[in-house]
């Protein structure tokens, strides 16, 4: 139970920081809506629904990247990560709490983004919504892990996209697949498997990312 309490305390702190600073969620919202507006005017008038579905996933991945890039900024600015790493809690709790907070920001951005997409392009089915939910889990699990790795480096702004985008390709494949086929179960299963695999991997190895001395 103490692990859950640690995660809750850390996630609450991240949500409180965003509520105070408001520098991640507004940027994500503005970015995703602006992206759809640009896509709306850049796509040919009679382009296919398939192309529009692809654009939805491009927008989701880059919006998430924007949030992930800021995930560890409060810790970096004051080197607070040292304080958290020294605390006797399981270090994976830091990752899980950060992933939950990032997931919350991404979910809020998508609550606005999906209706905007439907307005500009075409309606969104249940399979797409399910795929977005599953993709969000994987994006936040992997992205938060890589964000913690990148934050310790000088080239962090460059490193995060370089590491994250290749690992996001399976998410885009699964997401686009689930959005465009008539029987999306296989793609949804693929996304769930990705979440499970990378979730366990990140949870088990986060300790080595944040701790130099073992």
Give the footprint of another protein on this chain (CB under 8 A). 2, 5-6, 9-10, 13, 16-17, 20-21, 74, 77-80, 82-89, 212-214
Q: Shortest distance, CB of residue 83 to another protein, whole angstroms?
A: 3
Residue pair 68/157 in contact (Cβ under 8 Å)? The answer is no
Nearest to 141 by CA among 178, 196, 86: 196
What span, in angstroms and rounded, lies between the C-alpha atoms of 72 and 162?
17
Phi, psi dihedral angles at 33 (to 5 degrees): -70, -45
Q: Output 148 or 178, the one with its CB closest to another protein.
A: 148
Q: Output 2 or 48, the one with its CB closest to another protein.
A: 2
Nearest to 150 by CA among 69, 78, 86: 69
Q: Output 71 or 188, the one with its CB closest to another protein.
A: 71
Q: Output 88 or 123, the one with its CB closest to another protein.
A: 88
Q: Shortest distance, CB of residue 15 to another protein, whole angstroms?
A: 12
What span, in angstroms and rounded, lies between the C-alpha atoms of 90 and 208?
12
Angle in degrees, CA 70, 76, 78, rounded to 5:
130
Q: Shortest distance, CB of residue 5 to another protein, whole angstroms?
A: 7
Nearest to 36 by CA among 104, 152, 114, 105: 114
Residue labelled with tokens 């507006």? 37
Q: Output 54 or 74, the one with its CB closest to another protein.
A: 74
Q: Shortest distance, CB of residue 27 to another protein, whole angstroms?
A: 16
Q: Shortest distance, CB of residue 105 to another protein, whole angstroms?
A: 16
């Amino acid at each position: 139970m103490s692990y859950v309490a640690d995660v809750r305390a850390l996630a609450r702190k991240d949500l409180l920081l965003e509520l105070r600073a408001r520098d991640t969620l507004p940027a994500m919202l503005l970015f995703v809506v602006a992206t759809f507006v640009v896509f709306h005017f850049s796509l040919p008038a009679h382009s296919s629904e398939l192309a529009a579905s692809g654009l939805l996933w491009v927008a989701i991945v880059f919006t998430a990247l924007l949030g992930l890039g800021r995930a560890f900024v409060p810790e970096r600015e004051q080197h607070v990560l040292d304080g958290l790493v020294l605390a006797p809690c399981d270090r994976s709790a830091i990752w899980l709490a950060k992933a939950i907070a990032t997931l919350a920001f991404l979910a809020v951005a998508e609550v606005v983004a999906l209706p905007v997409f439907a307005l500009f392009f075409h309606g969104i089915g249940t399979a797409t919504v399910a795929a977005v939910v599953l993709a969000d889990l994987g994006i936040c699990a992997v992205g938060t892990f890589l964000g913690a790795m990148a934050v310790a480096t000088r080239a962090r702004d460059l490193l995060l996209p370089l590491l994250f985008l290749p690992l996001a390709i399976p998410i885009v494949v699964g997401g686009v697949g689930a959005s465009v086929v008539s029987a999306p179960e296989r793609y949804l299963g693929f996304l769930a498997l990705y979440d499970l695999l990378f979730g366990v991997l990140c949870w088990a190895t986060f300790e080595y990312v944040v701790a130099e001395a073992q």
